[in-house]
Amino acid sequence: MILTALLGYRSAVPDCYDEPLYEVIERVERDGNLGKLDIGALYLWKRIPRGNWGLKLLRMSEVEVRAVTSAAVRAARDEDLPTPEAAAAARTALSPLPGMRTGDALPSTLLLAAAPDRMAVYDRRARKGLNKVGLPLSDGPGRYGRYMERIEQCRAELLELRAESHSAREVDLALYWLGA
């Protein structure tokens, strides 16, 4: 199901859709953190409904924002931790920022930009996709770490099927497509 869904996504969504994401990934790779401009670009790219957190974020200094995101980037890239644990630590590191305390859609987007070879985007559609492949996900604290456990499980099962290696991002795209 995941492989078929990934092909469906790739055939329907143009490559140019992810250009803002790729630009932010390049900046994070260079700088080791995300600023307000990067968060705004990812907010637009992810198409997240407007909330009150934006004004609060704008009232924080760029130095404060970059300090928080720098810690999250380091955690997401920590190769000494298994991916789900690194994901959970990085998600926790983002929690001081407005808009990052509850929900995982925007924070996971920042973490994808921080570690694109390792992290994946969480959203309701991907969660529905997980249900369709028989891997339900519970709510509550630590959800993003549990989500990444399931992403890693899907990646392992794809390898067992002798499918080519797929990134966490490719699995989340397939789940997103399945959950449509």
Judge whether residue 53 has pLDDT over 90: no
Residues 29 and 102 in one domain: yes
Residues 80 and 125 in one domain: no
- What average pLDDT score do residues 16-36 get? 95
Q: Which of 114, 135, 165 is the last residue of a domain?
A: 114
Residues 58 and 93 in one domain: yes
* Of residues 84, 93, 78, the one with CA closest to residue 122: 84
Which of the four pLDDT bands, split at 50, 70 and 90, describes residue 33? very high
* Dihedral, CA of residue 138, residue 49, residue 97 and residue 109, to nearest 10: 70
Q: Which of 72, 91, 114 is the last residue of a domain?
A: 114
Note the pLDDT tens digit of each residue in 87-119: 999 999 999 999 898 889 999 999 999 999 999
Domain tally, the chain: 2
Residues 109/101, Cβ–Cβ less than 8 Å: no
Residues 132 and 102 in one domain: no
**Residue 74 domain boundaries:** 16-114
Q: Answer with the residue of higher pLDDT: 26 or 50.
A: 26
In b/e form, how buried is each residue of 112-124, taking b as 16+ CB within 10 angstroms?
bbbbbebbbbbbe
- Which secondary-structure segment (H or E) carries 109? helix 105-114
Residues 141 and 167 in one domain: yes
Judge whether residue 55 has pLDDT over 80: yes
The average confidence (pLDDT) of the chain is 93
Q: Which of 114, 130, 163 is the last residue of a domain?
A: 114
Q: What is the pTM of this model?
A: 0.91
Residues 21 and 69 in one domain: yes
Note the pLDDT tens digit of each residue in 140-180: 899 999 999 999 999 999 988 877 778 999 999 999 999 98
Structure confidence at residue 47 (pLDDT): 82
- What average pLDDT score do residues 70-76 get? 98
Residues 47 and 92 in one domain: yes
Residues 45 and 125 in one domain: no
